[in-house]
Amino acid sequence: MSYVVFARKWRPKTLTDVVGQETVTRTLRNALSSGRIGQAFLLTGARGVGKTSTARILAAALNCSSTPGPTPDPCGTCASCTEIAAGTSVDVQEIDGASNNSVEDVRELRESTRFNPARDRYRIWIIDEVHMLSAGAFNALLKTLEEPPPKVKFILATTEMKKLPETILSRCQIHAFRLIPARDLATHLRSIASSENIEISDSALLRIARAAEGSVRDALSLFDQVYAFTGARIQDEDVAKLLGLIDRELLREATRAVFENDSAGVLRVIETLASYGADYEVFSHELLLYWRDLLVLKISPDSDGVDLLPEDRAAAAQFVTSIPEEDLLRLVDSLSRSELDFRKAIDPDPRLSLEMALLKAAQLRRLVSFADLVSRVEQFLGESPRAIQAAPPERPRALPPVSTPAHSTSRLTPPPEVAAPPTPPPVIKAEPPAPAEKPNDSRSAIDRLREAITSRMLQAALSSASATVEDDAIHLSVAETQLAFLESERDTLAGTTQKAFGRKLRVVLKAGQPDEVDDSAAVRSRPARPALEAAPAPAKTPPAAPPASGKAAPNKAALKARAAADPVVERTLDLFGGILLDVKPLDTPAEAADDGAGEEG
């Protein structure tokens, strides 16, 4: 008897023998058992996953003569079953769509459907690679496919279902075959090796299964080839040498070099590949699959979605414990893009392309997680950023703000005749209630207002402001750039005056600078000088003469206050713990116009 290759010798004989297609086989078995059998079946999937074998098993199940009707378990020994398996049955015709793709071929098929089966229950047509039929042939087949004679069944098989017209798809029961996982293929090969008395390791079987890329026929063909090369005792080195597979240790060495930013190590790995005569594109693809397995293990250490042997898992565990998930994802993406560039290159140099891809991956800067950044900032500042935002640093009460002139403090003292709050606290003595604003309080009105404000934005906006309290109103002289913002916060400012002055005051805003406060209003609201302020106020320094060019000298205090009130500057200073040392004006006419009189912008 002539030699029969493994792919034919171990072809499945029943639906339960089909590897890795439990969904399809269960559906067909239930349909055969219940008698709910359609007139046309479409089997679709990748190459070598069992479509044609399933079509023959289905035909035998429909025509098996050992049972009174269709059965999910054909005997395989009756005349009908043996003839169908050998391809000699008169009532089961197996044709390919590539060589029978014309309208005339389909017309001949339609004529044949008029005749009853010669011996079996059904006349069955198995059309392999049906997507190769022409458009006219598909149209000629539509009517017969939808309403065939009672004794006629069609079984179509294709690897490219997307090429079939929708009119054909709607007339068939579609059964999609999937690629077989490498673990299932290795298990199937182990059973064949035991039956054939072949000695081979699990790692070698897994390598063959992975090289088959989900195809049972390819796996059996590769296994047959290795068996012919080595005999009944197969070594791992023989499998790697014959199939051109990459040594797993070389993959681990390349991974170590890339993750440790070792460019010299990357070049040594590629030089080793050159000495082996290995295929650079195959190595790139194997390395990409290995990195993908590392990423899966990093995300889910107990995942079954990786096909790694125990020794590979141990080495992979060492990598994933020290590499962040973000870096693994970037490396997989970088190598996958480089592999795509290999294929698109007009005149590719595989070695150069692989060298550049791995060197680029080795030089990628490692990402720092957001949590690490926050931790570094906390260590730098000595406290949490949340604490900084929730509890802004309190201004020293003994000193006025930097931007407020020293001579304005005594002018802005609240008047002594302000009435006390209407309901005094219950612990007050039986004396007349004390006024809300004590004459000996040396803080200026603007300082008291700022201390009562909790919003950092408002505090910054009032950093260069001055204030006077007159009757039931507080007059604020603010920078022109902050006027619109403070107008929108007028109600908030009015509510804050209750806490600052013991009564709610009406807020009056005007554009100006601290030294532009209305002297007459300050005089009207100024109380008698307390004892602590008996010394005369320092004389006001006359303003410097303008420069010879005729332009006013820039007001550095106002510019610094504007910069400090900017939200971006404020957040930057808070985040890094900085201080504003100096401000330089811009020599542009637009800025000069915005700064107002006495400033250069």
Q: Which long-range contacts (CB under 8 A, 24 or more apart) does 24-27 make?
A: 24/54, 24/175, 24/176, 24/177, 25/54, 27/175
Q: Is 462 exposed, middle or buried (0-12, 13-18, 19+ CB in 10 A)?
A: buried
Give residue limits of the domains in the chain. Answer: 6-176, 182-243, 253-282+289-362, 398-420+438-529+551-601
Segments in 438-584 forming alpha helices (H): 445-452, 456-461, 483-488, 490-501, 519-525, 556-565, 567-576
Q: How many angstroms separate the CA atoms of 140 and 137, rounded? A: 5
- What is the mean pLDDT of the segment spanning 303-315? 72
Mean pLDDT of the chain: 77
Higher pLDDT, 557 or 261: 261
Higher pLDDT, 448 or 365: 448
Question: What sign does the dihedral 47-52-53-55 (CA atoms) show?
Answer: positive
398-420+438-529+551-601 has which CATH code?
3.30.300.180
Segments in 345-463 forming alpha helices (H): 350-362, 370-381, 385-390, 445-452, 456-461
Q: What is the pLDDT of residue 490?
A: 84
Domain 182-243: give its CATH architecture. Orthogonal Bundle (1.10)
- What is the mean pLDDT of the segment spanning 72-96? 91
Judged against a pLDDT cut of 70, whether residue 511 lies above it is answered with: yes
Judged against a pLDDT cut of 60, whether residue 222 lies above it is answered with: yes
CB 426 within 8 A of CB 432: no
60-64, 282-286, 460-464, 500-504, range with greatest mean pLDDT: 60-64
CB 243 within 8 A of CB 222: yes
Question: What sign does the dihedral 390-392-394-400 (CA atoms) show?
Answer: negative
**Which of the four pLDDT bands, split at 50, 70 and 90, describes residue 485?**
confident
Q: Which of 38-47, 139-148, 244-253 has the lowest mean pLDDT?
A: 244-253
Instruction: Rounding to the nearest 10 degrees, give the CA dihedral for residues 461, 466, 468, 474.
Output: -10
253-282+289-362 has which CATH code?
1.20.272.10
Q: Are domains 182-243 and 253-282+289-362 of this chain identical in fold?
A: no
Give the HSE-up count for residue 134: Cα atoms under 13 Å, Cβ half-sphere: 12
Judged against a pLDDT cut of 90, whether residue 312 lies above it is answered with: no
The pTM of the whole model exceeds 0.85: no
- What is the mean pLDDT of the segment spanning 211-236? 91
Closest CA to 250 of 216, 221, 276: 276
Q: Which residues contact 116 (CB under 8 A, 6 or more apart)?
A: 123, 151
Segments in 280-324 forming alpha helices (H): 280-299, 310-322
Provide the pairing of β-strand 466-470 with 473-478: antiparallel
Q: How many angstroms separate the CA atoms of 226 and 232, rounded? A: 10
- Which tens digits make up the pLDDT trace of 28-76? 999 999 989 999 999 999 999 999 999 999 999 999 999 999 999 999 8
Higher pLDDT, 80 or 437: 80
Higher pLDDT, 342 or 31: 31
Judged against a pLDDT cut of 80, whether residue 148 lies above it is answered with: yes
Q: What is the pLDDT of residue 601?
A: 35
Q: What is the pLDDT of residue 427?
A: 45
Q: What is the pLDDT of residue 338?
A: 78
Decide if domain 6-176 falls under CATH 3.40.50.300: yes
CB 526 within 8 A of CB 411: yes
CA distances from 174 to 24, 209, 381 (A): 10, 27, 65
- What is the mean pLDDT of the segment spanning 317-333? 81
